[in-house]
Amino acid sequence: MKQFTILTAILLSFATDAASTTRNSIGRYILLRDRSLTDNLFFNGPHQDYFKMRTNISSGLKDLIGDIKSGTDSSTSSSQKTTNVLSILNKNINTEKFIDIGLELNIPLPSFKYSRFTFLPSLFASGTLGGLVTVANKVDGTNPNADIYLNKEIRYGVASTLLWKNRFNESLQVALYKKSVSDLFISKDATSIATGGSLVETSELKDEDNSYSVDFSYKRENEKYALIIDLWDLKLMKASGSKESRIGNTPFLHTRYDFKNDSTGAFKFTPFLGAHYRKRHTIAESLYLGTNIAYQGHIPVSTIFKMDNQFLTFLPRIEFRHFHFSYGLRTPYRNPQDDIWVPTIHSIHIGIPF
């Protein structure tokens, strides 16, 4: 407990230091999305569900889109549309809105054994649509802009989990796949939004960055601890005719250590420490800690409390043998961040395990 108190203090000090960094919309999107990916790993490892969905949406995003749609109604004059949009942008001044929706389908193939090793292959396909909208008036105090980053990603390929029996119950999963990324970044003022009638359209995502990549996921556990190490998005080669995406392709490294313990009470506490890293992250942004609290009665419910240098995450969940569900909140404990007000992010996770 003493060590966790020290680490919490370190995270809080990082939170203060991180406030002075310059905001970059694409870098900020990568950070928020990677935090969503680490949250997703609390529910099951990659490629271990027939169906898996994650949804992360900032409070106020739906209202922002709806207000702009109604404010640019076709029956309204051009000048009135611009006035309406300007009012909406001022209402949302110096705020960000994040969205991340991911779906994954997996088809297990027949398993086979060799010596003391077991191979569990599968085919998979996944798609992600995400984005970040930042409304600010730093350039012109009277004419706010909406900086919009939109990202669409599709992956399909084959994965195989290798299990081997020893005192650590180790496993290694390798996934080989083709990845297609389409993205765009655009900055719009009230006039350009009013002319187009919306912030952005997914039809504007045209050029694709195609590549072949590989992921590795390792797990080791016994009665005292569990260790997971993930190395994803290792680019093997670029596909022919591919364009360059704005987000680029940098490997994602993640590790988490769970402290297991024997518990005879109604609740079991499993503290954890973790870190995730990509090229655009800082060390302060990468660290997190928390605990999983599992009820040891007949109802399979548990709650995850997680803290990083900006957010407190609360993930209650229910896990049956063939169905997982969670509705959670990622709430900022300091605002503003880099002079931008950050809202709560609502998350939903659904999984149907093999």
Rounded CA-CA distance 310/338 in Å is 11
- What's the chain's average pLDDT? 89
CA distance 237 to 254: 22
Q: What is the pTM of this model?
A: 0.90
168, containing H or E segment: none
Q: How confident is the model at residue 261 (pLDDT cuts 50, 70, 90)?
A: confident
Ordered structural domains, the chain, with CATH:
2-353 (2.40.128)
CA distance 109 to 113: 13
| Of residues 33, 47, 352, 32, the one with CA closest to residue 214 | 47
Q: How many CB atoms lie within 10 A of CB 263?
A: 12
Q: Is the pLDDT of residue 313 over 50?
A: yes
- Check residue 244 and report its DSSP letter: P
Name which of 233-237, 280-284, 311-315, 325-329 the model is least confident about.
280-284
User: Do the Cβ atoms of 54 and 347 come closer than 8 Å?
Assistant: yes
Q: Is 57 helix (H, G, I), strand (E, B) or coil?
A: strand
Cα separation, 262 vs 24, whole angstroms: 45
Note whether 96 and 342 are within 8 A (CB): yes
pLDDT over 80 at 327, yes or no: yes
Give the span between the Cα atoms of 352 and 354, in whole angstroms: 7
The torsion defined by the Cα of 181, 187, 190 and 192, in degrees rounded to 10, comes to -70
Q: Which two tokens stand for residue 159?
A: 């994965």
Question: What's the mean pLDDT in 205-232?
Answer: 93
Q: By percentage, how much of the chain surpasses pLDDT 70?
A: 92
